């Protein structure tokens, strides 16, 4: 079998010219951008609590998870993860009627969030498998219990 030729990508730090373009500028506070795998959408947190998606080609922004389902204390505590095919977004969200986080999956095209954890304990840090057929997350189910007291 002949040897495989290795190609090397140029390092980003070695770029001579870097052009930056503003893709969204509104009075709202927007942060935590997570680009979709195909680079056409960007999920982000708007005004500390709402999860929204920007379509780069058109500049359209639509909400995926309303602010009522989240409460952010610090930057980065609302975690977002695109499925490898870009059809779904996994996110942390407050359980309805409770003050505890669960992991939800939201269709990128829009629709209701689906609570995939349904335990009543704290869940966070959603991550998709490379193929997209598995979603993992951290949970307090069998460790630190969040009921009665703080563990």
Tell me how far apart the alpha carbons of residues 148 and 90 are, in angstroms, rounded to a whole number. Answer: 28
- Position 148 scores a pLDDT of 54
Query: How many other C-beta atoms are found inside a 10 Å radius of the C-beta of residue 106?
Result: 21
Neighbour tally for 21: CB within 10 Å: 5
Residues of the chain with pLDDT under 70: 1-10, 12-13, 15, 72-76, 143-151
Are the C-beta atoms of 24 and 35 separated by less than 8 Å?
A: no
d(CA 51, CA 67): 7
Helix (H/G/I), strand (E/B), else coil: 64? strand
CA distance 62 to 108: 10
DSSP assignment letter at 5: P
């Amino acid at each position: 079998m002949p040897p495989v030729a290795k190609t090397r990508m140029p390092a980003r730090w070695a770029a001579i010219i870097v052009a930056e373009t503003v893709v969204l500028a509104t009075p709202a506070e927007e942060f935590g951008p997570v680009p979709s795998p195909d680079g056409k959408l960007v999920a982000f947190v708007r005004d500390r609590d709402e999860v929204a998606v920007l379509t780069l080609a058109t500049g359209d922004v639509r909400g995926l998870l309303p602010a009522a389902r989240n409460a952010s204390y610090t930057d980065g505590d609302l975690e977002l993860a695109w499925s490898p095919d870009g059809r779904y977004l996994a996110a942390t969200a407050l359980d309805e009627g409770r003050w505890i986080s669960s992991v939800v999956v939201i269709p990128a095209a829009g629709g209701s969030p689906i609570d995939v954890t349904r335990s009543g304990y704290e869940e966070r840090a959603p991550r998709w498998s490379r193929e997209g057929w598995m979603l993992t997350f951290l949970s307090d189910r069998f460790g630190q219990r969040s009921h009665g007291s703080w563990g």
